[in-house]
Structure 1
Amino acid sequence: MSSWLKAMNPSSPITTEAEAERAARASAISIFIGVVVGLIGLAWTLANPGTMQDAVATASQGDPAAGAMANASLQAGLWMAGAMVAIQLILGVVQWRSPGKFIAILFIVLIALGIAMSVAAPLMTASMPTVPITPMWQIGLSVVIMIVQLVLHVTGLKGIKQLDRIQMEQSR
């Protein structure tokens, strides 16, 4: 257990191939954290249909055509969220089996975008009175989780780089 904690620390030195592999897999662990967060979000949304109905009613503002469109958009959003969790799970398994720079960099960019959107969310909802307001505790928790994921991906990139270097030296 302590070897895994050491491997997930971005400032710890990596000297062996086993340490490099564990550090490289930190990126996959970060992806799996995202999968768990996505599943919790989907489960919470499906368990609270009243919240969804309130959002549809607010968006439609009494117009039946707008309500039908909002309801269809909600259903499409739920299916899209499920598909994104599934894709994320597949990429996590790929990253675990064969750690690669591309997936780690892709997720670093996506997480940075997610942090920026989470921080900007309160500013955007203030200008749109019909949009439901996300509680600050939820925004703060999301940002903390994304920062942890970002650190794990950076550690993963460090491990991937070191793993490549060690394997290159061994092949000579």
Structure 2
Amino acid sequence: MTNWIKAANPLATTVGVDEARAAARMSSVALWLTAAKDVVLLVALLGSIPQASAATTSTGSNVATMTLAILGVSALVQIAAGLFQWVRPGTMIPIIAGMLTAYALYEAGMKMAGGASALAVISVVVMVLALILHIAGTRGAAALEKTQKPA
């Protein structure tokens, strides 16, 4: 348990290959957390489809269905990227996922400026935790790549 806590710390130093691999896999955990958040949002939005569908006209696009599709695809991509990062830890996935998480966090903060629901607050907390884990994952993957490079 303490190894996972140390691995999740973005400021910790890695001593060996096992610690570096554990830190690199923190990005997988972050991706799975955000995928779970997206699935929870998807389920919460499923109840609002009848109201949103009734509000759309026959000539307008169905924004609610498109939002659900984007959340579903996003969750699947995050699960797949998390599995890939777990099996073959590298720096590319944590860097890209960390940048996307930081942007999503910024957007959520801008939307929450006028007020926030409980689901929005939980979403922001998960994104902050995911960003910390992506930073730890980048640190661990970089350390892992240094140990695996031929001299």
Give TM class, smaller chain: 0.7 to 0.9
2:24 and 2:138 in contact (8 A); partners too: yes
Q: Distance in 2 between matches of 1:122 and 1:18?
A: 40
Which residue in the other structure is 2:49 paired with? 52
Which residue in the other structure is 1:73 paired with? 63
Q: How many residues align?
A: 151
Q: CA deviation at 1:30?
A: 0.4
Instruction: Give secondary structure in 1 for the equivalent of 2:58.
Output: helix
Q: Distance in 2 between matches of 1:56 and 1:107?
A: 32
Q: CA deviation at 1:118?
A: 0.6
Which residue in the other structure is 1:14 paired with? 14
Q: Distance in 2 between matches of 1:165 and 1:27?
A: 18
Which residue in the other structure is 1:100 paired with? 90
String of CA shifts for 1:6-65, please: whole Å, max 9, x gaps: 11111222101100000010111100101111111122222x2xx3333344x44xxx43
1:87 matches 2:114: no
1:21 and 1:160 in contact (8 A); partners too: yes
Q: Which amino acid aligns with 1:157?
A: T
CA RMSD of aligned residues (A): 2.0
User: Aligned match of 2:132 in 151, 155, 160?
Assistant: 151
Gaps of 5+ in 2: none
Q: CA deviation at 1:90?
A: 0.8
Q: Distance in 2 between matches of 1:120 and 1:109?
A: 17
User: Aligned match of 1:163 in 144, 148, 151?
Assistant: 144
Q: Distance in 2 between matches of 1:80 and 1:136?
A: 21
Q: Distance in 2 between matches of 1:106 and 1:20?
A: 19
Q: Distance in 2 between matches of 1:147 and 1:122?
A: 15
Structure-2-length-normalised TM-score: 0.88
Which residue in the other structure is 1:130 paired with? none
Q: Distance in 1 between matches of 2:84 and 2:44?
A: 28
Structure-1-length-normalised TM-score: 0.78
Gaps of 5+ in 1: 127-133
